[in-house]
Amino acid sequence: MIRWLKKLYYPIQAGHYRLERHSMGLALGIVAAASVGGLVEIAPLFTIDETVESAPEMRVYTPLEQAGRDIYVREGCYLCHSQMIRTLADEVDRYGPYSLAVESQYDHPMLWGSKRTGPDLARLGGKYSDDWHVAHLIDPRAVVPDSVMPHYAFLADAQLEIASLPARLAALRKVGVPYTDAMIEAAEQDALGQARPDTDRADAVMERYGEDTQVRNFDGDSGRLTEMDALVAYLQILGRLTDVAHATDPATIKAGLEAAQ
Amino acid sequence: MVAKLTFVERQIALLILGIITILGLVMASLGAGDALGVHGFIVLFAGLGLIFAVGGSLYAPEPIEDRSREYYDDPIKIGIVLAMIWAMIGMGVGDWVAWMLAFPDLRFDAAWSSFGRLRPVHTTGIIFGFGGNALIATSMHVMQRTSRARLAGQISPWFVLLGYNLFVILATTGYVMGVTQSKEYAEAEWYADIWLVVVWVVYFVLYIRTLARRNEPHIYVANWYYLAFILVVAMLHIVNNLAVPASFTAAKSYSLFSGVQDAMTQWWYGHNAVAFFLTAGFLGMLYYYLPKRAQRPIYSYRLSILSFWGIVFFYIWVGSHHLHYTALPHWVQTLGVTFSVMLLVPSWASAGNALMTLNGAWHKVRDDATLRFMFVAAVFYGLSTFEGSFMAIRPVNSLSHYTDWTVGHVHAGSMGWVALITFGAIYAAVPLIWRRDDMYSWRLVEWHFWLALAGTVIYIFAMWNSGIVQGLMWRTYNDVGTLQYSFMDTVVAMHPYYIARAIGGLLFLIGAVIGFYNILMTIRAARSEDRLLDHPTDSEACEPAVPVAE
């Protein structure tokens, strides 16, 4: 064993002894050695089809939801809340079916997170009412006494900036989200419409994004479109762009769990 | 500082600063009404301020001495002071947000002071502000001494150092305004990222040109690590930050990748920021300052080679251990575990090599707090790399992931290893660079050492406790087969540990403040006589630049 290791090691040392006298050679050696792992692990994720499940009926985020997602990113919510339910029994019991890759296929960037100072949010949509979210964001400890979450009362007063939404959707299309020309053109109108039920604009949103699109006055204030509207709209769609994770039959889930443990 | 430049060099500096100022003006006008505009003004004022600094002494007398006969230490001096300023900012914000987790209303009632906006200021302030400046400054010190050559450039070292700090300022001021890409440790937006690429290319060219001037046939081991740090960080930074801006008049951009591919790219970046920023660069520091301070040669040349190539090759594979049990394909997770465990070999080879180097110098470790900083750093390096390999194993990770255990592990590395080796290196370098006999006060170095060590230990134990307690509570079932604890039960259980952690962080911060004071007082002290042989030379008769290897 030792002899074999020595045989393996001596060429490395001999090669290194040459390299450490040539700065460019050393630089090239470093780049070569450091490239292998990334190429082997990342490149196939784009080419192997099984990496991402198929969910043909999955829809894209509406402009209002995408605006809410941008606020979620801006405020750093992902630093305390994950959006990735692992294939562990207690997580499935606590949060719902484990997350599938396809569920974040339109997430540029992904917000899987790395720390749960607060609970996972991957299946938050529909779990609480809009009113609960608004009250909780305005004063978390009024709703959850022991919460350590910062309050976001200012969102309710901040008018949502919608003029840049067409450009934002267009950028998202460039990176692969299938927004149509009509969606991009009408982004501002659709953002307004989704928070104003029973208007022509609202009907247009449902026409473009599907009958199931949640059209509500999310922040409870019908006066104007606020950042609160956008963020709550986003929180209410989490885990509901596709129901493919729920559709998986129990036997498969169980097998998956056993394989993982 | 400007007095050491020739008239032509001052003009070139003014030209570069003029271009930067115009860029700032363009950003400010295009991005009016957006955070991009605010950043434009920051660039503009940074450029104007430096134009005044250089322009004010444009016609001052030119240097008459032969500059090639001495090392270029001015940028290193500024780099060390900047590193300490960022240490104050990064650690101060870090401890503030730590208290905020125990007492959430401990903030001004403002949007900018939420945990979510301040946490990246802490991480960026420490990693890139404190760590980055320390790496740039020490790399310039080490490469000149081990190559026996002056830096290959008069202006480029300044461009690298100040341009880099402009990047860190743009990044941190952006976060409080809500400008972020959300990618951990790569939050800065597209324009700041592009600027960092420019700075980094100049850094690489400066490094490789200085190495090309060397008067030693071999490149010393510290430089291998600095070189790996520069090259691989460039690769990681460029790939992970690929994004399409929503418009060129605003800061917002969208990552080129999405979902699972984005997650893998991010943690390929994230873990190798640990590897090549927080490990490779600081191992470069360790390999120079520790043997120099101990006056002992590096224990083993073979171990150096083994650990260097092991770290460069293995580390790149391990990022996927951040994504166990997620939607990332199983085969990638398995590769991550495998390489994480194998990584222990080169990691412990490095730590062991450092500790064995101290054989015969243990009395110095006892008496000299500066060397003790480096010794304890090597010990923490060994401990945290073991912990890292352990936590990468799937079943362990199922408990530790998403909890404070990860936070504790990161701080075992960043406080115990990165910060302690940096303080050791700075205490070793400051008297050398400023030509002083010694630090202003060795007692203050002792105080700093014990405060830093106590703070680190308290921090790590608090986070081990809270992380393991929370992980276990999440998965506890009661007799009827439902979950025993609500999520809020686990948050309440964290409270005492969060207070302990914040106290640990405070001790560490106080130590760093004492260190900064000590450094400033050393700078103020009287200059001593020049050291023999501390200048570029090609004389074979001189003592070796570094103690000879085995």
Classify burial at B192, counting beta carbons within 10 Å of its beta carbon; exposed 0-12, middle 13-18, buried 19 or more: buried
Residues B250 and B362 in one domain: yes
Residues B411 and B499 in one domain: yes
**First CA to last CA distance, chain A:** 33
Q: How far apart are CA A107 and CA B263, in angstroms?
A: 10
The CATH fold assigned to A63-260 is: Cytochrome Bc1 Complex; Chain D, domain 2 (1.10.760)
Task: Please report the pLDDT score of residue B538 as a whole number.
Answer: 66
Task: Please report the pLDDT score of residue A254 as a whole number.
Answer: 56
- B401 annotated as a binding-site residue: no
Which residues lie across from B477 on neighbouring strands?
A: B483
ipTM score of the complex?
Answer: 0.94
Residues B381 and B516 in one domain: yes
Q: Is residue B386 in some structural domain?
A: yes
- B411 annotated as a binding-site residue: yes
- Which residues of B are less than 8 Å from A147 in CB distance? 104, 488, 491
Q: Is residue B278 in some structural domain?
A: yes
Instruction: Check: CB of residue B471 under 8 Å from CB of residue B403.
Output: yes
Task: Please report the pLDDT score of residue B323 as a whole number.
Answer: 97
Q: Is residue B287 in some structural domain?
A: yes
Task: Please report the pLDDT score of residue A106 as a whole number.
Answer: 96
Residues B515 and B454 in one domain: yes
Domains of chain A: which residue ranges? 2-51, 63-260
Residues B146 and B225 in one domain: yes
Residues B150 and B30 in one domain: no
A 10 A CB-CB count for B61 gives: 8
Task: Please report the pLDDT score of residue A258 as a whole number.
Answer: 57
* Length in residues, chain B: 550
Q: Determine which helix (DSSP H) or strand (DSSP E) holds B451, and give its type and residue range.
A: helix B442-474
Task: Please report the pLDDT score of residue B550 as a whole number.
Answer: 41
Residues B162 and B35 in one domain: no
A 10 A CB-CB count for B110 gives: 10
List the single residue in B231, B258, B264 with the smallest CB-CB distance to A176. B258
Q: Is residue B140 in some structural domain?
A: yes
Angle between helices B190-212 and B133-147 (to 10 degrees): 10
Residue A49 has pLDDT above 90, yes or no: no
What is this structure's pTM?
0.95
Q: Of B28, B57, B86, which residue constitutes the final position of a domain?
A: B57
- B321 annotated as a binding-site residue: yes
Q: Of B57, B76, B105, which residue constitutes the final position of a domain?
A: B57
Residues B444 and B520 in one domain: yes
Q: How far apart are CA B518 and CA B522, in angstroms?
A: 6
Task: Please report the pLDDT score of residue B541 as a whole number.
Answer: 47
Q: Is residue B549 in some structural domain?
A: no
Task: Please report the pLDDT score of residue A6 as a whole number.
Answer: 82
Structural domain boundaries enclosing B30: 1-57
Task: Please report the pLDDT score of residue B158 as a whole number.
Answer: 97
Q: Is residue B437 in some structural domain?
A: yes
Contacts of residue A14, Cβ cutoff 8 Å, sequence gap at least 6? none
Instruction: Check: CB of residue B313 under 8 Å from CB of residue B270.
Output: no
List the single residue in B180, B309, B312 with the smallest CB-CB distance to A74. B180
Contacts of residue B81, Cβ cutoff 8 Å, sequence gap at least 6? B519
CATH of the domain at B372: 1.20.210.10
Residue A247 has pLDDT above 80, yes or no: no
Query: How many folded domains does chain B comprise?
Result: 2
Q: Is residue B100 in some structural domain?
A: yes
| Residues B252, A36: C-beta atoms closer than 8 Å | no
Residues B92 and B2 in one domain: no
Task: Please report the pLDDT score of residue B548 as a whole number.
Answer: 52
Q: How far apart are CA B521 and CA B524, in angstroms?
A: 5
| Residues B258, A13: C-beta atoms closer than 8 Å | no
Task: List phi, psi (to 5°) of B72.
Answer: -100, 100
Residues B29 and B160 in one domain: no
Residue B210 sits at the chain A interface (C-beta within 8 Å):
no
Residues B304 and B345 in one domain: yes
Q: Is A113 left (phi over 0), alpha (psi -120 to 50) or beta?
A: left
List the single residue in B107, B312, B336 with the smallest CB-CB distance to A34. B312
Closest CA to B199 of B162, B228, B233, B229: B162
**Chain A interface mutation, best of B93, B108, B115, highest count of A Cβ atoms under 10 Å:** B115
Classify burial at A121, counting beta carbons within 10 Å of its beta carbon; exposed 0-12, middle 13-18, buried 19 or more: buried
| Residues A108, B483: C-beta atoms closer than 8 Å | no
Instruction: Check: CB of residue A152 under 8 Å from CB of residue A137.
Output: yes
Q: Is residue B267 in some structural domain?
A: yes
pLDDT in tens, chain B (550 residues): 888 899 999 999 999 999 999 999 999 999 999 999 999 999 999 999 999 999 999 999 998 888 888 899 999 999 999 999 999 999 999 999 999 999 999 998 889 999 999 999 999 999 999 999 999 999 999 999 999 999 999 999 999 999 999 999 999 999 999 999 999 999 999 999 999 999 999 999 999 999 999 998 899 999 999 999 999 999 999 999 999 999 999 999 999 999 999 999 999 999 999 899 999 999 999 999 999 999 999 999 999 999 999 999 999 999 999 999 999 999 999 999 999 999 999 999 999 999 999 999 999 999 999 999 999 999 999 999 999 999 999 999 999 999 999 999 999 999 999 999 999 999 999 999 999 999 999 999 999 999 999 999 999 999 999 999 999 999 999 999 999 999 999 999 999 999 999 999 999 999 999 999 999 999 998 887 777 678 887 655 455 555 554 4
Residues B46 and B81 in one domain: no
